[in-house]
Amino acid sequence: MAEWSRDGFEKVMKENELDAIVAAGTDLSVFLYIGGCPGITVPAAYDQGVPYGISFGGLIGSEPKLIEIAYAFEQATNVRKPPPLE
């Protein structure tokens, strides 16, 4: 998996000059973790009140850019709803 991260994910990101990779849900985090790469997940939708996320991942050291991208997504979609008060 570490080899896939280096020779696959990192290579694709660098060759295509990508800031981030995007995936629905949280499955992306497993692949990022193995390569030591950062990721962030934010709310993207709700299904019968259950939130679903969208994940953004990047190369090592790209945390500031990922936070910027995730924040921009949140502001543009305004999907997040605060949990109800009990």
Kindly report whether the global pTM for this prediction surpasses the value 0.85.
Answer: no
Torsional class of 53: left (φ above 0), alpha (ψ -120 to 50), beta (otherwise): beta
Amino acid letter, residue 25: G
Q: Give the pLDDT of the chain (86 residues) as one tens digit per residue.
A: 666 666 788 888 999 999 999 999 888 888 888 888 999 999 999 888 888 899 999 999 999 999 999 999 999 999 888 777 87
Provide the number of structural domains found in the chain.
1
CA distance 54 to 44: 6
Is residue 82 in some structural domain? no
Is residue 41 in some structural domain? yes
Domain of 53 in residue numbering reads as 2-77
What pLDDT does 30 receive?
82
